[in-house]
């Protein structure tokens, strides 16, 4: 989570003049790794200006994180973050999960003034992890909604295919 953390962040221009200062109060960052597709990163940042921003970065190349596309969005005041809502009720000690050899992996890193946490899970099969995966997908959809670009929608369709595969296996 290098470079992504709570605390004071200053943005300078090329001459070193301060353009803006922000206090980041909380951030979550998810690395999304489909088995047969390039990885992606999804982040939501909370700052002291009561502003919530999100970003989705992905590659259309077979080389991870080359030819990147990044979509950013500022969420409206009062936006309800689906990931933080789900995290309030996640059972991290559910012993009923299984193992999948072909699927999708996630590394969700959370940094707030209260704690730093990393959750590493693959092809969710327990209700809590399925809900968390769905919440991350929902946040990505909200970010992409502002751009409505073909590349972004293509990435969401690829990701949705992994969500659908998991749903078919559980039925």
Q: Domain extents for the chain?
A: 24-170
Q: Structure tokens of 6?
A: 């709570």
Q: In terms of pTM, does the model score above 0.85?
A: no
Q: Structure tokens of 23?
A: 């206090």
pLDDT score of 1? 44
Q: Structure tokens of 133?
A: 């995966």
pLDDT score of 113? 86
pLDDT score of 69? 84
Question: Which residue did the predictor score with more confidence, 160 or 147?
Answer: 160
Choice among 70-74, 99-103, 123-127 with the minimum mean pLDDT: 99-103
> Is the CB of residue 159 less than 8 Å from the CB of residue 31?
no
pLDDT score of 64? 59
DSSP, collapsed to helix, strand or coil, labels residue 167 as helix
In angstroms, the CA 93 to CA 3 distance is 30
> Is the CB of residue 37 less than 8 Å from the CB of residue 158?
yes
pLDDT score of 150? 84
Question: What's the distance, CA 76 to chain centroid?
Answer: 18
| pLDDT at 119 exceeding the cut of 90 | yes
> Is the CB of residue 156 less than 8 Å from the CB of residue 144?
yes
Q: What is the DSSP letter of 127?
A: H
Residue 86 host element (H or E): helix 82-87
| pLDDT at 123 exceeding the cut of 60 | yes
* Range from 4-8, 97-101, 124-128, 130-134 that averages highest in pLDDT: 130-134
In angstroms, the CA 141 to CA 85 distance is 16
């Amino acid at each position: 989570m290098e470079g992504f953390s709570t605390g004071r962040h200053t943005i300078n221009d090329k001459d070193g003049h301060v353009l803006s200062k922000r206090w980041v109060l909380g951030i979550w960052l998810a690395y999304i790794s489909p088995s047969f597709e390039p990885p992606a990163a999804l982040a939501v940042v909370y700052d002291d200006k009561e502003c919530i921003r999100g970003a989705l970065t992905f590659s259309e190349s077979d080389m991870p994180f080359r030819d990147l596309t990044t979509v950013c969005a500022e969420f409206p005041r009062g936006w309800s973050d689906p990931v933080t809502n789900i995290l309030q009720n996640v059972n991290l000690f559910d012993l009923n999960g299984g193992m999948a050899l072909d699927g999708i992996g996630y590394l969700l890193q959370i940094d707030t003034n209260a704690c730093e946490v990393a959750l590493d899970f693959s092809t969710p099969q327990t209700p809590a992890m399925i809900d968390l995966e769905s919440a991350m997908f929902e946040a990505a959809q909200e970010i992409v909604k502002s751009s409505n670009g073909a590349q972004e929608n293509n990435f969401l369709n690829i990701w949705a295919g992994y969500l659908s595969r998991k749903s078919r296996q559980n039925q």
